[in-house]
Amino acid sequence: MKRLILTKVCFLFVLNIGISQIEFGMKAGLHSFDLANESILVPGSNEQMELNFLESEYGFQFGLYSRIKLFGLYIEPSFMLHTTSVNFTLNEIGDNGIANSIINERFTNLDIPVLVGFKLLFFKAFVGPVAHLNIDSTSDLIDIAGYSQRFDRATYGFQTGLGFDIWKLRLGIKYEGNLSKFGDQMLMGNQNVSFDKRPSRIIANVGYRF
């Protein structure tokens, strides 16, 4: 009987320690998008078409996070919705010369990073993988004959950065790299027309602990 009571007391003590080391909160922030000056030739069209990456607008993100402290490390999974808007120039080379137009593409993804961190002086350093799941997209490219999009799979990347805590606020800046080429979802007559480079982002966010 005493052994049973002691076991229950130890279990409640460990459970209380575990719960005290878990926090939940929400985050919001801005992110940039970098693809350099990339261009691709659009296959399968009657006229020669060249698609050039022009610029991207700052994107927004918002979501929930949790942080678990375990053996001196921080494990931080998050669920973040982010929107990105990208502009292209489409050069159509035909018998009448070159026609230029501005093409816009906007998409919303659910990002699921799982970061592992440790304390570094006054900061917390984090690194870990991130998965991207497409939720919605709109693109002017759909007007090109034979163009389609494929969002039937997740894409993956990594994040690394630094964070700083002030009371209930969680400030952070991260660099994100991707393992997939940009435009991997773009198809022209069932042929992939992705860019050669893998995009990167700088993410600045602020969180609030509940």
Per-residue pLDDT tens digits for 48-59: 777 777 888 889
Contact 84, 33 (CB under 8 A): yes
The pTM (predicted TM-score) of the whole model is 0.79
pLDDT of residue 9: 40
Contact 181, 156 (CB under 8 A): no
Model confidence pLDDT, tens digit, residues 75-114:
999 999 999 898 888 887 766 656 778 888 898 999 999 9
**Is the confidence at residue 20, as pLDDT, over 80?**
no
**Is the confidence at residue 161, as pLDDT, over 80?**
yes
pLDDT of residue 11: 43
Q: What is the mean pLDDT of the chain?
A: 80
**Is the confidence at residue 205, as pLDDT, over 70?**
yes
CATH number of 23-209: 2.40.160.20
**Is the confidence at residue 17, as pLDDT, over 60?**
no
More confident: 206 or 71: 206
User: What confidence tier does 164 reach under pLDDT thresholds 50, 70, 90?
Assistant: very high
Dihedral sign, CA of 25, 26, 29, 35?
Answer: positive
39-51 residues labelled b (16+ CB within 10 A) or e (exposed): ebebeebeeebbb
Contact 137, 151 (CB under 8 A): yes
